[in-house]
Amino acid sequence: MSTFQTIDDLHLTGKVVLLRVDFNVPVKDGRITDATRIVRSLPTIRALIKAGAKVVILSHFGRPKGKPNPEFSLRPVAAGLSSHLNLPVAFAEDCIGSVAKTAIAAMENGDVLLLENVRFYPEEEANDADFAQKLAALGDVFVNDAFAVAHRKQASVVAIASFLPSVAGRLMQEELTALSKALVKPEKPLAALVGGSKISTKLDLLNNLICKVDILVLGGGMANTFMAAKGLAVGKSLHEADMLDTARTIMETAEAKGCNIMLPKDVVVATELKENAPCQTVAADAVPTDAMIFDLGTEAVAEIKATLALCKTVIWNGPLGVFETPPFDKGTNEVAICVADLTKRGKILSVAGGGDTVSALDHAGVTNGISYLSTAGGAFLEWMEGKQLPGVVALENSAPDAKKGKMII
Protein backbone atom coordinates (compact mmCIF):
# COMPACT_ATOMS: atom_id res chain seq x y z
CA MET A 1 0.00 0.00 0.00
CA SER A 2 1.11 3.59 -0.62
CA THR A 3 2.93 5.23 2.29
CA PHE A 4 1.41 8.61 3.02
CA GLN A 5 0.27 10.67 5.97
CA THR A 6 -3.32 11.70 6.66
CA ILE A 7 -5.01 14.60 8.41
CA ASP A 8 -4.85 12.54 11.61
CA ASP A 9 -1.07 13.07 11.57
CA LEU A 10 -1.41 16.86 11.80
CA HIS A 11 -1.98 19.46 14.48
CA LEU A 12 -4.17 21.90 12.57
CA THR A 13 -5.55 24.45 15.00
CA GLY A 14 -5.12 27.90 13.50
CA LYS A 15 -3.43 26.55 10.38
CA VAL A 16 -4.46 27.47 6.84
CA VAL A 17 -5.18 24.18 5.10
CA LEU A 18 -5.23 24.13 1.32
CA LEU A 19 -7.70 21.36 0.54
CA ARG A 20 -7.77 20.02 -3.03
CA VAL A 21 -11.13 18.49 -3.87
CA ASP A 22 -12.97 17.53 -7.04
CA PHE A 23 -15.95 19.88 -7.23
CA ASN A 24 -16.32 19.44 -10.98
CA VAL A 25 -20.04 18.88 -10.49
CA PRO A 26 -22.81 19.25 -13.09
CA VAL A 27 -24.43 22.69 -12.94
CA LYS A 28 -27.48 23.84 -14.91
CA ASP A 29 -28.90 27.36 -14.73
CA GLY A 30 -26.68 28.08 -11.74
CA ARG A 31 -27.91 25.05 -9.78
CA ILE A 32 -26.01 21.86 -8.97
CA THR A 33 -27.84 18.85 -10.44
CA ASP A 34 -25.72 16.14 -8.81
CA ALA A 35 -23.94 16.93 -5.55
CA THR A 36 -22.32 13.51 -5.06
CA ARG A 37 -18.77 14.86 -5.23
CA ILE A 38 -19.57 17.59 -2.73
CA VAL A 39 -21.20 15.13 -0.34
CA ARG A 40 -18.22 12.78 -0.48
CA SER A 41 -15.88 15.63 0.49
CA LEU A 42 -17.86 16.55 3.61
CA PRO A 43 -16.15 14.16 6.07
CA THR A 44 -12.77 15.75 5.33
CA ILE A 45 -14.07 19.31 5.49
CA ARG A 46 -15.89 18.65 8.76
CA ALA A 47 -12.81 16.99 10.26
CA LEU A 48 -10.71 20.04 9.36
CA ILE A 49 -13.32 22.40 10.80
CA LYS A 50 -13.45 20.36 14.01
CA ALA A 51 -9.65 20.53 14.22
CA GLY A 52 -9.83 24.33 14.16
CA ALA A 53 -8.23 24.80 10.76
CA LYS A 54 -8.95 27.55 8.28
CA VAL A 55 -10.20 25.50 5.33
CA VAL A 56 -9.26 26.93 1.93
CA ILE A 57 -10.62 24.82 -0.91
CA LEU A 58 -9.02 24.39 -4.32
CA SER A 59 -10.80 22.77 -7.26
CA HIS A 60 -11.09 22.77 -11.02
CA PHE A 61 -14.41 23.13 -12.81
CA GLY A 62 -14.96 22.23 -16.46
CA ARG A 63 -12.52 23.14 -19.20
CA PRO A 64 -12.13 26.94 -19.35
CA LYS A 65 -9.00 26.59 -21.49
CA GLY A 66 -6.68 28.44 -19.14
CA LYS A 67 -8.52 31.74 -18.87
CA PRO A 68 -11.29 33.23 -16.73
CA ASN A 69 -14.77 32.37 -17.97
CA PRO A 70 -17.94 33.08 -15.96
CA GLU A 71 -19.47 29.89 -17.34
CA PHE A 72 -16.89 27.91 -15.39
CA SER A 73 -16.90 29.89 -12.15
CA LEU A 74 -17.06 27.91 -8.92
CA ARG A 75 -19.30 30.54 -7.27
CA PRO A 76 -22.50 28.38 -7.56
CA VAL A 77 -20.60 25.53 -5.96
CA ALA A 78 -19.84 27.65 -2.89
CA ALA A 79 -23.57 28.05 -2.31
CA GLY A 80 -24.13 24.32 -2.82
CA LEU A 81 -21.36 23.42 -0.39
CA SER A 82 -22.76 25.84 2.16
CA SER A 83 -26.18 24.19 2.06
CA HIS A 84 -24.66 20.74 2.58
CA LEU A 85 -22.38 21.88 5.39
CA ASN A 86 -25.12 24.04 6.90
CA LEU A 87 -22.40 26.62 7.42
CA PRO A 88 -21.36 29.80 5.59
CA VAL A 89 -18.84 29.26 2.79
CA ALA A 90 -16.99 32.34 1.56
CA PHE A 91 -15.89 32.69 -2.05
CA ALA A 92 -12.81 34.40 -3.50
CA GLU A 93 -12.77 35.46 -7.13
CA ASP A 94 -9.20 34.29 -7.67
CA CYS A 95 -7.13 31.33 -6.51
CA ILE A 96 -3.80 33.18 -6.11
CA GLY A 97 -2.56 36.68 -5.41
CA SER A 98 -3.98 39.53 -3.36
CA VAL A 99 -7.65 38.60 -3.77
CA ALA A 100 -7.07 35.13 -2.31
CA LYS A 101 -4.71 36.43 0.39
CA THR A 102 -7.19 39.08 1.54
CA ALA A 103 -10.00 36.53 1.78
CA ILE A 104 -7.80 34.16 3.80
CA ALA A 105 -6.66 36.94 6.11
CA ALA A 106 -10.30 37.54 7.05
CA MET A 107 -10.85 33.91 8.12
CA GLU A 108 -11.30 32.67 11.66
CA ASN A 109 -10.50 29.14 12.84
CA GLY A 110 -13.12 26.75 11.47
CA ASP A 111 -14.09 29.00 8.54
CA VAL A 112 -14.41 27.65 5.00
CA LEU A 113 -13.37 29.49 1.85
CA LEU A 114 -13.67 28.30 -1.74
CA LEU A 115 -11.20 29.81 -4.21
CA GLU A 116 -11.99 30.36 -7.87
CA ASN A 117 -11.33 27.71 -10.51
CA VAL A 118 -7.62 26.80 -10.67
CA ARG A 119 -8.01 26.07 -14.39
CA PHE A 120 -8.52 29.77 -15.07
CA TYR A 121 -4.71 29.68 -15.27
CA PRO A 122 -3.00 27.66 -18.04
CA GLU A 123 -0.17 26.91 -15.60
CA GLU A 124 -2.49 24.59 -13.65
CA GLU A 125 -2.74 21.92 -16.33
CA ALA A 126 0.95 22.45 -17.21
CA ASN A 127 1.89 21.47 -13.62
CA ASP A 128 3.85 24.71 -13.49
CA ALA A 129 6.07 24.98 -10.40
CA ASP A 130 5.84 28.78 -10.14
CA PHE A 131 2.04 28.64 -10.16
CA ALA A 132 2.10 25.83 -7.60
CA GLN A 133 4.36 27.94 -5.39
CA LYS A 134 1.86 30.82 -5.58
CA LEU A 135 -0.88 28.43 -4.45
CA ALA A 136 1.31 27.02 -1.69
CA ALA A 137 2.13 30.52 -0.42
CA LEU A 138 -1.49 30.84 0.69
CA GLY A 139 -1.36 28.05 3.25
CA ASP A 140 0.52 26.06 5.85
CA VAL A 141 -0.32 22.52 4.74
CA PHE A 142 -1.78 20.77 1.70
CA VAL A 143 -4.49 18.12 1.93
CA ASN A 144 -5.36 16.18 -1.22
CA ASP A 145 -8.86 14.70 -1.15
CA ALA A 146 -9.29 14.48 -4.92
CA PHE A 147 -8.43 10.92 -5.93
CA ALA A 148 -10.51 11.48 -9.06
CA VAL A 149 -7.75 13.73 -10.46
CA ALA A 150 -4.80 11.89 -8.91
CA HIS A 151 -3.91 10.56 -12.39
CA ARG A 152 -3.46 14.09 -13.70
CA LYS A 153 -0.08 15.81 -13.42
CA GLN A 154 -1.35 19.27 -12.54
CA ALA A 155 -0.10 22.04 -10.28
CA SER A 156 -2.79 21.88 -7.59
CA VAL A 157 -2.47 18.09 -7.46
CA VAL A 158 1.24 17.36 -7.90
CA ALA A 159 3.63 20.34 -7.95
CA ILE A 160 2.11 21.98 -4.87
CA ALA A 161 3.26 19.03 -2.74
CA SER A 162 6.87 20.12 -3.35
CA PHE A 163 6.27 23.27 -1.32
CA LEU A 164 4.10 22.14 1.59
CA PRO A 165 3.77 19.13 3.87
CA SER A 166 1.07 17.12 2.13
CA VAL A 167 -1.35 14.52 3.40
CA ALA A 168 -4.40 12.59 2.27
CA GLY A 169 -7.92 13.63 3.15
CA ARG A 170 -10.59 11.19 4.31
CA LEU A 171 -11.88 10.36 0.82
CA MET A 172 -8.39 9.89 -0.63
CA GLN A 173 -7.44 7.72 2.33
CA GLU A 174 -10.62 5.66 1.99
CA GLU A 175 -10.09 5.16 -1.73
CA LEU A 176 -6.44 4.13 -1.45
CA THR A 177 -7.18 1.78 1.45
CA ALA A 178 -10.04 0.10 -0.42
CA LEU A 179 -8.06 -0.31 -3.63
CA SER A 180 -5.09 -1.70 -1.75
CA LYS A 181 -7.28 -4.31 -0.07
CA ALA A 182 -8.83 -5.19 -3.41
CA LEU A 183 -5.78 -5.51 -5.62
CA VAL A 184 -2.49 -5.01 -3.77
CA LYS A 185 -3.05 -7.31 -0.78
CA PRO A 186 -6.39 -8.99 -1.42
CA GLU A 187 -7.88 -11.96 0.32
CA LYS A 188 -8.01 -14.83 -2.17
CA PRO A 189 -9.69 -16.10 -4.25
CA LEU A 190 -9.89 -12.78 -6.08
CA ALA A 191 -12.33 -12.31 -8.96
CA ALA A 192 -12.57 -9.40 -11.38
CA LEU A 193 -15.72 -8.58 -13.33
CA VAL A 194 -14.82 -6.60 -16.44
CA GLY A 195 -17.31 -5.42 -19.02
CA GLY A 196 -17.65 -2.67 -21.57
CA SER A 197 -17.64 -2.54 -25.31
CA LYS A 198 -13.99 -2.76 -26.35
CA ILE A 199 -10.81 -4.62 -25.47
CA SER A 200 -8.78 -1.84 -27.06
CA THR A 201 -9.77 0.66 -24.37
CA LYS A 202 -8.94 -1.75 -21.51
CA LEU A 203 -5.81 -3.53 -22.72
CA ASP A 204 -3.65 -2.29 -19.84
CA LEU A 205 -6.37 -3.23 -17.37
CA LEU A 206 -6.74 -6.76 -18.73
CA ASN A 207 -3.00 -7.36 -18.92
CA ASN A 208 -2.58 -6.22 -15.31
CA LEU A 209 -5.53 -8.19 -13.96
CA ILE A 210 -4.59 -11.54 -15.50
CA CYS A 211 -1.36 -11.37 -13.50
CA LYS A 212 -3.16 -10.69 -10.21
CA VAL A 213 -6.63 -12.21 -10.13
CA ASP A 214 -7.69 -15.83 -9.89
CA ILE A 215 -10.82 -15.43 -12.01
CA LEU A 216 -11.53 -12.88 -14.72
CA VAL A 217 -15.22 -12.73 -15.68
CA LEU A 218 -15.80 -10.97 -19.00
CA GLY A 219 -19.04 -9.47 -20.26
CA GLY A 220 -20.32 -6.85 -22.65
CA GLY A 221 -18.92 -6.26 -26.11
CA MET A 222 -15.39 -7.24 -25.10
CA ALA A 223 -16.62 -10.74 -24.25
CA ASN A 224 -17.89 -11.01 -27.83
CA THR A 225 -14.39 -10.34 -29.10
CA PHE A 226 -12.95 -13.09 -26.90
CA MET A 227 -15.67 -15.48 -28.07
CA ALA A 228 -14.86 -14.68 -31.70
CA ALA A 229 -11.17 -15.24 -30.92
CA LYS A 230 -12.08 -18.75 -29.76
CA GLY A 231 -13.76 -19.41 -33.12
CA LEU A 232 -17.37 -18.85 -32.03
CA ALA A 233 -19.72 -17.08 -34.43
CA VAL A 234 -21.09 -13.90 -32.87
CA GLY A 235 -23.49 -12.90 -35.65
CA LYS A 236 -23.81 -9.12 -35.99
CA SER A 237 -22.69 -8.50 -32.43
CA LEU A 238 -20.41 -5.63 -31.51
CA HIS A 239 -16.84 -6.95 -31.46
CA GLU A 240 -13.37 -5.93 -32.57
CA ALA A 241 -12.32 -8.12 -35.46
CA ASP A 242 -8.85 -6.54 -35.48
CA MET A 243 -8.27 -7.53 -31.83
CA LEU A 244 -8.71 -11.30 -32.14
CA ASP A 245 -4.99 -12.05 -31.99
CA THR A 246 -4.69 -9.76 -28.97
CA ALA A 247 -7.54 -11.59 -27.25
CA ARG A 248 -5.84 -14.93 -27.92
CA THR A 249 -2.58 -13.64 -26.47
CA ILE A 250 -4.39 -12.45 -23.34
CA MET A 251 -6.04 -15.86 -22.94
CA GLU A 252 -2.71 -17.66 -23.38
CA THR A 253 -1.00 -15.40 -20.83
CA ALA A 254 -3.87 -15.82 -18.39
CA GLU A 255 -3.59 -19.60 -18.60
CA ALA A 256 0.14 -19.43 -17.98
CA LYS A 257 -0.44 -17.17 -14.95
CA GLY A 258 -3.12 -19.41 -13.49
CA CYS A 259 -5.95 -16.96 -14.16
CA ASN A 260 -9.24 -18.50 -15.27
CA ILE A 261 -11.01 -16.36 -17.86
CA MET A 262 -14.77 -16.94 -17.77
CA LEU A 263 -16.78 -16.25 -20.91
CA PRO A 264 -20.58 -16.61 -21.02
CA LYS A 265 -21.96 -20.10 -21.68
CA ASP A 266 -25.14 -18.63 -23.06
CA VAL A 267 -26.25 -15.17 -24.18
CA VAL A 268 -29.36 -13.12 -24.83
CA VAL A 269 -29.69 -12.09 -28.47
CA ALA A 270 -32.01 -9.93 -30.57
CA THR A 271 -32.07 -8.49 -34.07
CA GLU A 272 -32.36 -4.90 -32.85
CA LEU A 273 -31.50 -2.88 -29.79
CA LYS A 274 -34.60 -1.25 -28.39
CA GLU A 275 -36.55 -1.39 -25.17
CA ASN A 276 -38.49 -4.64 -24.76
CA ALA A 277 -37.32 -5.92 -28.16
CA PRO A 278 -38.14 -9.57 -28.89
CA CYS A 279 -35.18 -11.64 -27.71
CA GLN A 280 -34.09 -15.19 -26.98
CA THR A 281 -31.44 -16.98 -24.96
CA VAL A 282 -29.09 -19.19 -26.93
CA ALA A 283 -25.90 -21.13 -26.26
CA ALA A 284 -22.72 -19.17 -26.85
CA ASP A 285 -21.93 -21.36 -29.86
CA ALA A 286 -25.38 -20.95 -31.40
CA VAL A 287 -25.75 -17.22 -32.06
CA PRO A 288 -27.88 -16.66 -35.20
CA THR A 289 -26.10 -14.92 -38.06
CA ASP A 290 -28.60 -12.04 -38.07
CA ALA A 291 -28.64 -11.53 -34.30
CA MET A 292 -26.65 -9.45 -31.82
CA ILE A 293 -25.57 -10.34 -28.28
CA PHE A 294 -26.90 -7.87 -25.72
CA ASP A 295 -26.74 -9.67 -22.37
CA LEU A 296 -25.64 -12.71 -20.39
CA GLY A 297 -27.83 -15.80 -20.50
CA THR A 298 -29.32 -17.56 -17.47
CA GLU A 299 -26.61 -20.24 -17.36
CA ALA A 300 -23.87 -17.63 -17.58
CA VAL A 301 -25.39 -15.65 -14.71
CA ALA A 302 -25.78 -18.79 -12.59
CA GLU A 303 -22.14 -19.76 -13.19
CA ILE A 304 -20.91 -16.29 -12.26
CA LYS A 305 -22.97 -16.24 -9.07
CA ALA A 306 -21.71 -19.69 -8.06
CA THR A 307 -18.12 -18.62 -8.72
CA LEU A 308 -18.40 -15.39 -6.75
CA ALA A 309 -19.79 -17.31 -3.79
CA LEU A 310 -16.42 -19.07 -3.53
CA CYS A 311 -14.40 -15.83 -3.60
CA LYS A 312 -13.18 -13.50 -0.87
CA THR A 313 -12.60 -10.36 -2.96
CA VAL A 314 -14.40 -9.02 -6.03
CA ILE A 315 -13.51 -5.99 -8.15
CA TRP A 316 -15.79 -4.69 -10.88
CA ASN A 317 -15.26 -2.39 -13.84
CA GLY A 318 -17.77 -2.19 -16.66
CA PRO A 319 -21.35 -3.45 -17.19
CA LEU A 320 -21.88 -7.02 -18.37
CA GLY A 321 -24.58 -6.21 -20.91
CA VAL A 322 -26.53 -3.32 -22.44
CA PHE A 323 -28.05 -2.49 -19.06
CA GLU A 324 -29.47 0.83 -20.23
CA THR A 325 -32.05 -0.98 -22.40
CA PRO A 326 -34.40 -3.46 -20.71
CA PRO A 327 -34.68 -6.42 -20.90
CA PHE A 328 -30.92 -6.52 -21.54
CA ASP A 329 -30.23 -5.26 -18.01
CA LYS A 330 -31.17 -8.56 -16.39
CA GLY A 331 -27.71 -10.15 -16.36
CA THR A 332 -25.91 -7.13 -14.92
CA ASN A 333 -28.71 -6.60 -12.39
CA GLU A 334 -28.63 -10.20 -11.14
CA VAL A 335 -24.86 -10.26 -10.77
CA ALA A 336 -24.94 -6.86 -9.02
CA ILE A 337 -27.56 -8.08 -6.54
CA CYS A 338 -25.46 -11.19 -5.92
CA VAL A 339 -22.33 -9.13 -5.23
CA ALA A 340 -24.25 -6.84 -2.87
CA ASP A 341 -25.77 -9.81 -1.04
CA LEU A 342 -22.39 -11.53 -0.59
CA THR A 343 -20.97 -8.24 0.64
CA LYS A 344 -23.80 -7.70 3.11
CA ARG A 345 -23.31 -11.19 4.51
CA GLY A 346 -19.59 -10.55 4.99
CA LYS A 347 -18.57 -13.19 2.46
CA ILE A 348 -16.64 -10.86 0.16
CA LEU A 349 -14.97 -7.48 -0.01
CA SER A 350 -16.31 -5.73 -3.11
CA VAL A 351 -14.81 -2.72 -4.87
CA ALA A 352 -16.30 -1.23 -8.01
CA GLY A 353 -15.64 1.86 -10.09
CA GLY A 354 -15.89 3.62 -13.42
CA GLY A 355 -18.71 5.82 -14.69
CA ASP A 356 -20.68 3.10 -16.48
CA THR A 357 -20.15 0.73 -13.57
CA VAL A 358 -21.56 3.20 -11.07
CA SER A 359 -24.55 3.81 -13.35
CA ALA A 360 -25.14 0.07 -13.76
CA LEU A 361 -25.01 -0.57 -10.02
CA ASP A 362 -27.31 2.38 -9.41
CA HIS A 363 -29.70 0.96 -12.01
CA ALA A 364 -29.64 -2.34 -10.10
CA GLY A 365 -30.30 -0.48 -6.85
CA VAL A 366 -27.21 -1.74 -5.05
CA THR A 367 -24.82 1.21 -4.82
CA ASN A 368 -25.07 1.07 -1.04
CA GLY A 369 -24.38 -2.66 -1.06
CA ILE A 370 -20.81 -2.47 -2.34
CA SER A 371 -17.92 -2.32 0.14
CA TYR A 372 -16.40 0.59 -1.75
CA LEU A 373 -17.80 2.32 -4.81
CA SER A 374 -15.30 4.61 -6.52
CA THR A 375 -16.57 7.56 -8.53
CA ALA A 376 -13.04 8.44 -9.64
CA GLY A 377 -13.39 7.29 -13.25
CA GLY A 378 -10.04 7.59 -15.02
CA ALA A 379 -7.99 7.50 -11.81
CA PHE A 380 -9.74 4.30 -10.71
CA LEU A 381 -9.07 2.69 -14.09
CA GLU A 382 -5.39 3.69 -14.11
CA TRP A 383 -4.94 2.33 -10.59
CA MET A 384 -6.49 -0.95 -11.71
CA GLU A 385 -4.11 -0.92 -14.65
CA GLY A 386 -1.23 -0.94 -12.18
CA LYS A 387 -0.05 2.55 -13.05
CA GLN A 388 1.46 4.99 -10.58
CA LEU A 389 -0.77 8.00 -10.03
CA PRO A 390 1.15 11.31 -9.93
CA GLY A 391 -1.12 12.74 -7.22
CA VAL A 392 -0.50 9.76 -4.95
CA VAL A 393 3.24 9.75 -5.61
CA ALA A 394 3.29 13.47 -4.71
CA LEU A 395 1.80 12.68 -1.29
CA GLU A 396 4.48 10.06 -0.70
CA ASN A 397 7.23 12.51 -1.63
CA SER A 398 5.84 15.77 -0.23
CA ALA A 399 7.99 18.61 1.05
CA PRO A 400 9.94 18.00 4.26
CA ASP A 401 8.63 19.87 7.29
CA ALA A 402 10.96 22.88 7.30
CA LYS A 403 8.50 25.56 8.40
CA LYS A 404 6.01 22.82 9.09
CA GLY A 405 7.79 20.67 11.62
CA LYS A 406 5.60 22.12 14.36
CA MET A 407 2.53 20.80 12.54
CA ILE A 408 3.58 17.24 11.81
CA ILE A 409 3.22 15.01 14.86
DSSP letters spanning 331-360: HHHHHHHHHHHHHHTTS-EEEEESHHHHHH
Catalytic residue among 15, 20, 37, 170: 37
Q: How confident is the model at residue 364 (pLDDT cuts 50, 70, 90)?
A: very high
Average pLDDT over residues 355-369: 93
The average confidence (pLDDT) of the chain is 94
What does the pLDDT read at residue 2? 55
Between the alpha carbon of residue 380 and those of residues 72, 149, 183, 308, 316, the distances in Å are 25, 10, 12, 22, 11
- Range name among 9-18, 20-29, 392-401 with the lowest pLDDT average: 392-401
Average pLDDT over residues 87-116: 98
In tens, the pLDDT along 333-350 reads 999 999 999 999 999 999
pLDDT surpassing 50 at residue 135: yes
Long-range pairs of 391-394 with CB within 8 A, sequence gap ≥ 24: 391/144, 391/146, 391/147, 391/149, 391/150, 391/151, 391/152, 391/157, 391/158, 392/2, 392/4, 392/150, 392/176, 393/158, 394/144, 394/157, 394/158, 394/159, 394/160, 394/161, 394/162, 394/166
Closest CA to 307 of 235, 215, 377: 215
> Quick one: CA dihedral 251, 255, 256, 259, positive or negative?
positive
What does the pLDDT read at residue 28? 87
Q: How many CB atoms lie within 10 A of CB 401?
A: 13
Closest CA to 44 of 215, 212, 168, 221: 168
What does the pLDDT read at residue 1? 46
* Rama region for 27: left / alpha / beta (φ>0; ψ in -120 to 50; rest): beta
In tens, the pLDDT along 282-297 reads 999 999 999 999 999 9
In tens, the pLDDT along 206-239 reads 999 999 999 999 999 999 999 999 999 999 999 9
Catalytic residue among 198, 344, 347, 387: 198
pLDDT surpassing 90 at residue 375: no
Could you tell me if 65 and 52 are in contact, meaning their C-beta atoms sit under 8 angstroms apart? Answer: no
Closest CA to 165 of 330, 307, 4, 281: 4
User: Whole-angstrom distance between the N-terminal and C-terminal Cα of the chain?
Assistant: 21
What does the pLDDT read at residue 109? 98
Q: For 213-253, give the DSSP string.
A: -SEEEE-HHHHHHHHHHTT---TT----GGGHHHHHHHHHH
Give the phi and the psi of residue 191 in degrees, each rounded to 5.
Answer: -115, 145
**Any idea what the Cα angle at residue 327 is, between residues 321 and 332, rounded to 5°?**
35
Cα 265 to chain centroid, rounded:
30
CA dist., res. 311 & res. 118, Å (int):
44
What does the pLDDT read at residue 404? 41
Q: Where in the chain is the domain with CATH 3.40.50.1260?
A: 7-172, 186-375
Task: Among 199-208, 249-258, 377-386, name the most confident range.
Answer: 249-258
pLDDT surpassing 60 at residue 407: no
Q: How confident is the model at residue 184 (pLDDT cuts 50, 70, 90)?
A: confident
Catalytic residue among 235, 378, 386, 387: 378
Full strand arrangement of the beta sheet holding 313-317: 260-262, 215-218, 190-194, 313-317, 349-353, 372-374
Q: How confident is the model at residue 4 (pLDDT cuts 50, 70, 90)?
A: confident
What does the pLDDT read at residue 400? 62
In tens, the pLDDT along 139-148 reads 999 999 999 9
Between the alpha carbon of residue 145 and those of residues 153, 162, 354, the distances in Å are 15, 17, 18
Biggest CA pair distance of the chain:
72
* Rama region for 97: left / alpha / beta (φ>0; ψ in -120 to 50; rest): left
**Any idea what the Cα angle at residue 363 is, between residues 30 and 374, rounded to 5°?**
70
Q: How many CB atoms lie within 10 A of CB 25?
A: 21
What does the pLDDT read at residue 376? 85
pLDDT surpassing 70 at residue 53: yes
Average pLDDT over residues 1-21: 89
> Quick one: CA dihedral 206, 210, 213, 214, positive or negative?
positive
The reply to whether 355 belongs to the active site is: yes
Q: What percent of the chain has a predicted confidence (pLDDT) above 90?
A: 87
CATH number of the domain located at residue range(s) 7-172 in this protein = 3.40.50.1260
What does the pLDDT read at residue 120? 98
Give the phi and the psi of residue 294 in degrees, each rounded to 5.
Answer: -125, -10
Average pLDDT over residues 13-26: 96
pLDDT surpassing 90 at residue 30: no
pLDDT surpassing 70 at residue 279: yes
The reply to whether 37 belongs to the active site is: yes
pLDDT surpassing 50 at residue 40: yes
User: Which homologous superfamily does the CATH classification assign to the domain defined by 186-375?
Assistant: Phosphoglycerate kinase, N-terminal domain (3.40.50.1260)
Answer whether 0.85 is exceeded by the pTM. yes
What does the pLDDT read at residue 401? 56
In tens, the pLDDT along 62-86 reads 999 999 999 999 999 999 999 999 9
Q: How many CB atoms lie within 10 A of CB 253?
A: 15
Could you tell me if 349 and 182 are in contact, meaning their C-beta atoms sit under 8 angstroms apart? Answer: yes
390 cis-preceded (ω within 30 degrees of 0): no
Catalytic residue among 62, 355, 386, 387: 355
For residue 56, count CB atoms less than 10 angstroms from its CB and return exposed for 0-12, middle for 13-18, buried for 19 or more. buried
Q: How confident is the model at residue 409 (pLDDT cuts 50, 70, 90)?
A: very low
